[in-house]
Structure 1
């Protein structure tokens, strides 16, 4: 029989979660309005309550916060929380953050409280991103010294994860200077570490540290000169950077693998874009004559490794620029012998159609367009008089352009990429005091907040007509040639804004002039 007491108890059981849910709704509403934003001091408690109530709007808000606001101080707390509540997707995101930002995370106090099993999992991962073996050693040493009596017995197993043979003499002197080695229980381990450093016969797997980026650099098409300098050949090839190899000291290289070939014809001076995880290829030239400019468009699906022919551009274009904005693709300016082009057209993927938008103020080729803060910025290029220009301007598809501060010097056939809140410009050609076209090694960055340019470290080699991309907050410049002697630049250089220097990342895998580069997420079967 359902008694009054039973009914009251039942009502209490139902009412309490409803009240908690109501309070949670108020909290969520406040956080949306900005009156009480989510913050780290309360997010775990709110998420825990939302999980208990299975309150989906609150869970969505909390999970978005936990993933988007990750930082070196909070990521290990998120790892622990996700493990405790068995939230697989959140755990993957947090673990990935720890691995990609390992050096910063290792400097936090919470790192020293990591369980040994978890630390070993990170140290043995191919997703561990470190600049040198010294970074790994310092992290391990700090963890051991936090609780030496308990952790000295784990030192041998942890030190096996460090490739001491890849250290320079300067780096190893820092290893030797550690006071930890004065403990007699570590004498045998120290001898083993020293032997590892001095060994010239390291196992193949220890000759470099392999790092797998989440996404891959992809190189598309281009042309190159023959070994005897007698002829040039145009490529249909696609290559991708499978892994980054850290060798001794600062020596690094990309391991390249062939991804496949684009449909006929082979092309150079083309453009590429990535939208919804798929790679688009536009226009370019199929040979070196006056009637060889293309308007064809193809789309590559990396999941099914398939190509699809799309609607052609309304104008044939080479040496132009392409950007993606609000789900649409814009083909901007360019060249089609004998004319420079000022038209701009927009591609709609859902309708598979092109339509013209507002034209540029002047015909341009060899310029670069990039999107920053939801706006299209265009730098440099050549005008109808074949002269390099120093312009930087905002292009609005519905209205006229707005001109910004000029670059320090004119520039064309260069690279420009969005990095943080600035646009970084490198390579290409410029005009000297005699109005001759020469290589441009100087680099500069544009800050839209101040409408100003700031110089940064010059390139070590010319990169005219190079490919470029940003991968994990580094600016890659790939291939190209020298305008002054027409020699190929067969190297990849990477700019790290934290160290403010260019790094040599090894040689190009194939054609290296007027190729294009992009960043693409490839399915696991392409990777290691």
Structure 2
């Protein structure tokens, strides 16, 4: 009776019902032949599913699966019903079907044995150490139910020791990784301490290092993660400098930098890493204190230094007394940029001439010239250095070394933009890009990766605006669009990568400049009246980021479109004092 039905089952092996039919026939035949046995024996026989037991009952294996030196006898009908891989082989005129044997490569024999057992049992305990090989084997032979069982087991038994393997498998087989990624981020410290951490992929390590917010404790974890991963394999040493740059060493204590970072062979073997580490130590040395002597004490007064291009003079507005005084004349003529670095004023001409104002001697000192500029550029202080932003490149001046760095960094790809900086990034906003002149674009420069990246576009296009960074947000103010001058302000949140509109300025402004101090944004110049004509009144207004309110704090003196400004923390300047224009010395 059984032999009569076997051809039918083999012919219809594509249907999963074949397995249940086959087992039903076995059970019914066994019950008929063993009707004289007790019920316990019958129950034991009904659970028979091993190949050897089926052969003992008169159902010999008729196919062999070979893996390396191992051979596994199986029944065609069972493996064909359970696996699309074997169904294709056995239902065609393939050589393996005729020979009654398939030789499998690049698969673990013990994993195939587990797959065979699952096709017979439908349930099979799998140790965590076996799961990776079993998933690979089950995917190879299209045994999807077993693969799903393995992934489910991994999720149920997730731990710092297993999550790295789980993530690798999820990526390899295009599984949802959301819960896994959240688990790793929440348990990163424990995962770094686990033995499996060095098996994490390089790109994943970079993502996790960049994700965590800055802090001394966080930076120590990053240091441990990077050094542990690199030292695990000798061929990873070349990755260390780029990973090292992802850290914010300034947040680590001088003791940790000296005892742990500076003494590590990975740092000592890299000139770039040693330079980065020494730059972080400088704030704790006398050298930096001597260079930064102008900011050794917190000034009682804050001044807004304004360069009036029409008069060629630099005046200072005392924020406390609301009075003005003359600082100096300009050492050069023509077009130039003006600002402050390390509490010293600077002037950079389009022709490359570069001067820094000596606060003690009240005179301009010539510094090494930069490259001449024949297009719009923006100068900004960032992380103690001066960055000159141009469309196609970025230049950097180091005031400690008193030299322009030889390397030309990439440009922001925008024209006629404004810019601002946070502690970690430089932002360029609102410039034209491409043939279609999109004026709502925004870019962010990462000094560690030395590259610009696009961020969310502003809600509205604008030209001739100003930017400021305060209280962890970027503000873009005023400008002009569609022949209308603007008083509108947009605020960018880096955490959500979104822009929102906030309270308008008191007046419309075109080509104003901004400076920031104590959570307050000062907008200088560029005022326009209702008809769009230049207006000398309402020259400076203040935005209190905490209260969200605008206020006019100075009228007159400032000409629209002809002013640049910066914060100048000099204590001794006061209203009514006239500081004579200093001479110009060359150094």
Q: TM-score, normalised by structure 2?
A: 0.44
Identify, as 1 or 2, the structure richer in helix: 2
Q: TM-score, normalised by structure 1?
A: 0.48
Structure number with greater Rg is: 2
